[in-house]
Homo-oligomer: A and B are copies of this chain.
Amino acid sequence: MASEQGDDAAELRRLVADLLVVRGSGHLSDGQRRYPRWELDNASLRRLLAQGVGGVILLGGSAAELRQRTRQLQAWSGQALLICADVEEGVGQRFEGASWLVPPLALARLHRADPAGAIALAERYGRCSGREARALGLNWVLGPVCDVNNNPANPVINVRAWGEDPATAGALAAAFSRGAQAEGVLCCAKHFPGHGDTATDSHLALPLLDHSRARLEAVELPPFREAIAAGVAAVMTAHLLLPALDAERPATLSAAVLTDLLRGDLGFDGLVVTDALVMEAIAARYGAGEAAVLALEAGADLVLMPADADAAIAAILAAVAEGRLSRERLETSRLRRRRALDLALTTGRAAAGAAGAGPAVGDDPAEPLGPLSNGPLAEDRQLALTLVERSLEHQGGRLESAPGISLIRVDNLLACPFLSHQAPALERPEAAGWRTCLIDGRGPSPWSGQPDAPLALERLGEGALLLQLFVRGNPFRGSAGGGGEPWPAVLHQLQALNRLAGLVVLGSPYLWEALRQELAAGVPAAWSPAQTPLAQAAALAALGLGDAPTGGGGFTD
């Protein structure tokens, strides 16, 4: 009897553990972790996986490391794991060596002129992401973002969205999901019920979305409905307060949102996963344990990144003992998890089989290391190039001024995966005689403090300036003086001095739109929604610095 109770308690504990997704590093060794406060060390990971924790979210490391890492995690676990990553812009966005694609919002802009073409590209985008994820041992892609980015001041969604209107976002997100899931990975529509119209970053505080139910039906919900109709396997909740639905609890913890709206009205019977519970919007208001219990009570199946996995397990077990949560409720979630895993496995096998004589990832018998060991497949390299070419905008012809200063603006020079010493943004102007000046938020100030002449030019040197602005998010909308850096005023300053040689914007369409209005006629300028070396090469080629990139990744040669 005691033993049966013991077995039962152990079984219940494994059931609970199964519903957790904990955070690890894609790097193999503890010393390589980039976020050691958030990423479990290997001893803890191994212990939790042995106790039955059912999922891991990974960040960091190269494709080669990730392939080893996922094998290692599976070996540490006694069951098939869910292994996921925030690879919204190609697997190469997070894991070097795989494909790094333009941000989704670039396709939304293509969709205006060529809807069918954009949808076809979004599906290829999903195919590429799914194929490479599976090849490296991920079985769950935490995309597509289904939020409608109708608020350009949104600091957290922005170019990650597939649209600025519901129809575009829905059509493209569904196409992405179809493509990726056909390759044998699960997708995840996020952040339910819609995080596009917020000006607050929920990593820092709890945003409020004060819209009526009718407005939600018109704008926020349609992309989720479309992704669900396309068979998306999972939905991730938003850390948002929506008083129209629940005056008290954020969506992640709200039965009105997860059970009544998502399960009921939208009829979704797949996996519901919380956004990371460590985020301040949740972690600061509820404890690690209580947040997990509330999420499950509200209708979530899986708990992502609890602030403390052991505390979450203990709190859920206590909630079952107290009758707050039923065991059946947890069994149902586990069943959904298994169904999703089975689907990924079956589809993945079919996709591998369907590749047939073609270049299935990892099927080179002469290649001992398997998939992606010499980078993306030719068709995926071609996709990356096509997306850059089709989303590039330029005007004003080629650079004509004598070489002066190539001013490169980034957020943080110590975290620029797109800007190595051989990046086109550095190499191409330097090869033509330009002198690089790198600006981020932590160097000596380049600003004079004068509104009409904000750049302190005497700190930068002589000659005309080629501006290369790597900006994502949107600190620049509106007037020049508003909050962020005064680039519109810089354009006026340089044009008045006849020292503006050219402008390249990499990232924000909103900054590009604001700045191109300020450009004098004939000033060479280009925008790419991407910041990758490929995008840099394409933008600079449009200005006459180097050749346009071609397929095959040859732009690094």
Contact = CB atoms under 8 A, between A and B. Distances in A.
Interface in A416-469: 416, 419-422, 426, 436-440, 442-446, 456, 459-461
A368 B71 contact: yes
A437 B446 contact: no
Interface in A388-429: 412-416, 419-422, 426
Contacts of A416: 414
A474 interface: no
A32 interface: yes
Contacts of A367: 72
Interface in A168-185: none
Interface in A41-64: 41-42, 61-64
B97 A31 contact: yes
A36 B556 contact: yes
Interface residues of A, number: 58
A422 B460 CA distance: 29
Interface stretch (A306-314, A372-380, A480-488, A537-545): A372-380
Contacts of A71: 368-369
Contact of A34 (B30, B420, B456, B557): B420
Contact of A414 (B61, B75, B420): B420
Contacts of A368: 71-72, 75
A445 B557 CA distance: 32
20 contacts: A28-B373, A29-B63, A29-B64, A29-B97, A29-B374, A30-B374, A31-B97, A32-B62, A32-B96, A36-B556, A61-B62, A64-B64, A68-B369, A68-B373, A414-B419, A415-B420, A415-B421, A436-B442, A439-B444, A444-B456
Interface of A: 27-36, 41-42, 61-65, 68, 71-72, 75, 96-97, 367-369, 372-376, 412-416, 419-422, 426, 436-440, 442-446, 456, 459-461, 553, 556-557
Given A414-B426, A444-B445, 6 more contacts: A29-B373, A30-B374, A30-B553, A41-B557, A71-B369, A75-B368
